[in-house]
Structures are given as structure tokens and as C-alpha cells.
């Protein structure tokens, strides 16, 4: 008798033509609407399958996998994986994968663009124009912060941070960075970036961009104290995870003029946005789209599919998913938001 085909759950609508590759190997259950599934719904779905293709909308921890006796692999579409309790998955022998690499340049493009939009007040200017307030060219209108020749600070210097640093070279910026570990000399030279401690980064950056992973250790890394240490008139851009910033403290800093502007693609309670930030005119708000070019989002799904096929022991890389998640050093403190 033929062996039964493994069962797979695809938790969100992705690109049908790419996800269809799973049909060659597995019996696939697809969810057709974007949904923040309740934990009980995730647990029920995982309890019935061998593998799952999930996104950042799906929070998977101990409770969700407790009854998933057949589950062998969870492939998440995204580089950040704070939606997964990797320890809990690993403890049950479940392979967890993410999609690093394929979104680096697209996300770096967006981070740089968001920083520029905040500094040069681009969306504020557009809202003003659309509101019919442009009655004549004004010399003092909508003056923004300089970008070329200023100091860019990058907190978190992985692939995306390095991509942003390389872009900054074209703008004649000085690049400072702080990271859990210092980069090798050749990478620092390639990025023309100088390693500094966190307080120096805060004090010297005209534009600070956050690109570090979110974990218990980095929760509210930008709090009221960090904001008070930032250079007056600086900008702050976040394309990583909302939980890195204490949003009420940021609203105070923006409202009080301590910071010139902020660019935020991610929010602590997303899709809900802190109403105080919505009320600030000097913040550019975007709905978690830093990696959202068509080609990149397709590449992310394709990599996640490849990971799942391999992790479930099928295809040319059977047993060797291309991008498994290794537990980070602070994995014991890694937690779900
Ligand atoms: C990621 O990959 O972690 C992004 O936040 C979603 O593209």
C-alpha cells in the first residue's frame, strides 16, 4: 500500500502558483482569507498536519504545538521570526525555517526611503498639498533635516543594516553602527561603517535606523531614556519590529520637538497603531511593507516552500532545508509578543 502523503497547512493566502508546488508532495489545506488566527485555531490546524507554511500573522508557541504530535516542520515567510517560539518547536523536534537573504536589498531600499521621507517631510508635504493649503511657494515652508553629509546610525548590523550602510555611501553620509557583535574588518570596510557603543550611536546619529531582531532582550530598546540620549533634532526609523520602541515615549519625543521626525513601518500592536502616533504630523507611517516588492514577496514564498518541502524530507534537498532557524544565543529569552 502506498504511504499516505504528508499533510500541510498553508495559513494565509500567498502566491497560488508558487504554493501549488506543494501539491506535488503533500495534501495541502489552504486558508483563503488573510487572518490573525486565534491560538486555538492555530493549535487545531497544526494538530492535523505534518508541516505548516505560516506568516508573521501566525504566532506559534508551546500551547499551539502541544497537541501537534505529527508536526515536523514550520516554514515561516519572513526573515524576522518573533512569531515563533523557536525553543518550543526545537524541543519537540520541529524544524523551523525563515526566509533570510531574499529580501535584504528590497528592505534596505525601503528603510533608506522611509528615513528620507521622514527627514524631508515628504508625506507631510503631500498631505498639506492635497488638503489645498498650497497657496503660493513659501520659502520657509516644510523645512526638513539634511541627509547628505550627515551621520547615519544603524542599530542592528545584519544583512539589511549592511545594505542600508552601502546605500548611505552614495549620499556622502558617515555611518556608525552598533550590533551584538562587531563585524569583521572587511565587512566594516565594505560598508564604510564604524562600530560604536550604543550610547555613542544614540548621541551622534543624525538619523538612526533600527534593523535589529526583536526578542525579550531588545524589547523597548528605544525607550524614554534612549530617546533622551539621542541627538536633538535627529530622526528615528524602524523597519524591524514595533516592540523595539516604547511608542508613548516616542510620541512624547516627537511632540516635544526632541526628535525632528520618525519613519515607522512596524508597530507594537499592529495592525493597530498607537493613536498618539497617528496624531503626530512629523511621523511617516507605513503598514509593514518594507519587503513588499512583488519580486521579493514572491521570492520569500518560494524560499519558504523550498524549506518546507526539504524539511518534510521531499525534493532534491530532502532533509536539508536551505534556511533553518538556528537558536539565537538569547533563545531562552526569545518570546512571543
Ligand atoms: C520580515 O521578513 O521579517 C518582515 O518583517 C516581513 O517581510
3-state secondary structure the chain: CCCCCCEEEECCCCCHHHHHHHHHCCEEEECCCCCCCCHHHHHHHHCCCCEEEECCCCCECHHHHCCCCCCCEEEECCCCCCCECHHHHHHCCCEEECCCCCCHHHHHHHHHHHHHHHHCCHHHHHHHHHCCCCCCCCCCCCCCCCCCCCEEEEECCCHHHHHHHHHHHCCCCEEEEECCCCCCHHHHHHHCEEECCHHHHHHHCCEEEECCCCCHHHCCCECHHHHHHCCCCCEEEECCCHHHECHHHHHHHHHCCCCCEEEECCCCCCCCCCHHHHCCCCEEECCCCCCCCHHHHHHHHHHHHHHHHHHCCCCCCCCCCCCECCCCCCHHHCCCC
How far does the centroid of ligand 1 lie from the alpha carbon of residue 239, in Å? 9
What pTM does this model have? 0.94
The answer to whether 304 and 55 have CB atoms below 8 angstroms apart is no
Confidence label for 333 from pLDDT (cuts 50, 70 and 90): very low
CB of 323 closer than 6 angstroms to any ligand 1 atom: no
36 phi and psi angles, rounded to 5 deg: -90, 95
Tell which residue, 180, 175, 164, has the closest CA to residue 107: 164
Q: With 50 as the cut, is the pLDDT of residue 337 above it?
A: no
Examine the residue annotation and report whether 166 is marked as an active-site residue of this protein: no
Examine the residue annotation and report whether 241 is marked as an active-site residue of this protein: yes
Q: With 80 as the cut, is the pLDDT of residue 153 above it?
A: yes
Residues near 251 by beta carbon (within 8 Å), at least 6 away in sequence:
274, 276, 277, 279, 280
Q: With 50 as the cut, is the pLDDT of residue 329 above it?
A: no
- What's the pLDDT at 40? 96
The answer to whether 153 and 131 have CB atoms below 8 angstroms apart is no
Residue of 37, 167, 178, 241 marked catalytic: 241
Task: Quote the mean pLDDT of the chain.
Answer: 95
Here the cell at position 83 is 512569531
- What's the pLDDT at 336? 33
Q: For ligand 1, atom 6, which residue shows the shortest CA distance?
A: 78
Q: With 50 as the cut, is the pLDDT of residue 239 above it?
A: yes
- What's the pLDDT at 327? 61
Fold of 104-285: Rossmann fold (3.40.50)
CB of 160 closer than 6 angstroms to any ligand 1 atom: no
| 28-76 pLDDT per residue, tens | 999 988 888 999 999 999 999 999 999 999 999 999 999 999 999 999 9
Confidence label for 332 from pLDDT (cuts 50, 70 and 90): very low
Q: With 80 as the cut, is the pLDDT of residue 258 above it?
A: yes
Q: With 80 as the cut, is the pLDDT of residue 328 above it?
A: no
Q: Where are the domains of the chain?
A: 7-101+294-311, 104-285
Q: Please identify, by atom number, the ligand 1 atom nearest to the C-alpha of residue 239.
A: 5
How far does the centroid of ligand 1 lie from the alpha carbon of residue 300, in Å? 9
Examine the residue annotation and report whether 288 is marked as an active-site residue of this protein: yes
Q: How far is CA 145 from the centre of its chain?
A: 25
| 75-131 pLDDT per residue, tens | 999 999 999 999 999 999 999 999 999 999 999 999 999 999 999 999 999 999 999
- What's the pLDDT at 67? 96
Average pLDDT over residues 312-326: 95
- What's the pLDDT at 36? 86
Same fold, 7-101+294-311 and 104-285: yes
Architecture of the domain defined by 7-101+294-311: 3-Layer(aba) Sandwich (3.40)
The CA-atom distances, in angstroms, between 220 and each of 82, 216, 245, 252, 261 are: 14, 9, 4, 15, 18
Listed range (29-43, 82-96, 188-202, 283-297) with the worst mean pLDDT? 29-43
More confident call, 268 vs 333 = 268
Amino acid at each position: 500500500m502506498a504511504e499516505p502523503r504528508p499533510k500541510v497547512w498553508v495559513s494565509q493566502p500567498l502566491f497560488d502558483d508558487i504554493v501549488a508546488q506543494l501539491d506535488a508532495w503533500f495534501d495541502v489545506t489552504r486558508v483563503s482569507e488573510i487572518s490573525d488566527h486565534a491560538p486555538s485555531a492555530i493549535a487545531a490546524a497544526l494538530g492535523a498536519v505534518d508541516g505548516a507554511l505560516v506568516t508573521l500573522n501566525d504566532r506559534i508557541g508551546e500551547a499551539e504545538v502541544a497537541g501537534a504530535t505529527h508536526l515536523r516542520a514550520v516554514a515561516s515567510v519572513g526573515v524576522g521570526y518573533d512569531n515563533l517560539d523557536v525553543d518550543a518547536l526545537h524541543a519537540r523536534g520541529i524544524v523551523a525555517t525563515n526566509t533570510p537573504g531574499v529580501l535584504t536589498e528590497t528592505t534596505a531600499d525601503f528603510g533608506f526611503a522611509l528615513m528620507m521621507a521622514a527627514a524631508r517631510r515628504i508625506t507631510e508635504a503631500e498631505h498639506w498639498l492635497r488638503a489645498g493649503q498650497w497657496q503660493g511657494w513659501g520659502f520657509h515652508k516644510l523645512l526638513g533635516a539634511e541627509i547628505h553629509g550627515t551621520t547615519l546610525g544603524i542599530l542592528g548590523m545584519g544583512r539589511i543594516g549592511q545594505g542600508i550602510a552601502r546605500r548611505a555611501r552614495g549620499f556622502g553620509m558617515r555611518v556608525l553602527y552598533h550590533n551584538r557583535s562587531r563585524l569583521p574588518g572587511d565587512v566594516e570596510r565594505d560598508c564604510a561603517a564604524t562600530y560604536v557603543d550604543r550610547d555613542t550611536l544614540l548621541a551622534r546619529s543624525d538619523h538612526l535606523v533600527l534593523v535589529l531582531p526583536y526578542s525579550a532582550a531588545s524589547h523597548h530598546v528605544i525607550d524614554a531614556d534612549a530617546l533622551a540620549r539621542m541627538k536633538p533634532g535627529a530622526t528615528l526609523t524602524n523597519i524591524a519590529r514595533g516592540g523595539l520602541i516604547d511608542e508613548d515615549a516616542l510620541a512624547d519625543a516627537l511632540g516635544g520637538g526632541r526628535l525632528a521626525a520618525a519613519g515607522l513601518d512596524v508597530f507594537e500592536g499592529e495592525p493597530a497603531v498607537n493613536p498618539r502616533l497617528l496624531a503626530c504630523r512629523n511621523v511617516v507611517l507605513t503598514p509593514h511593507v518594507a519587503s513588499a516588492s512583488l519580486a521579493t514577496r514572491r521570492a520569500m514564498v518560494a524560499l519558504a516552500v523550498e524549506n518546507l518541502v526539504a524539511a518534510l524530507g521531499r525534493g532534491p534537498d530532502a532533509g536539508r532545508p536551505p534556511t533553518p532557524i538556528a537558536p539565537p544565543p538569547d533563545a531562552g529569552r526569545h518570546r512571543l509578543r
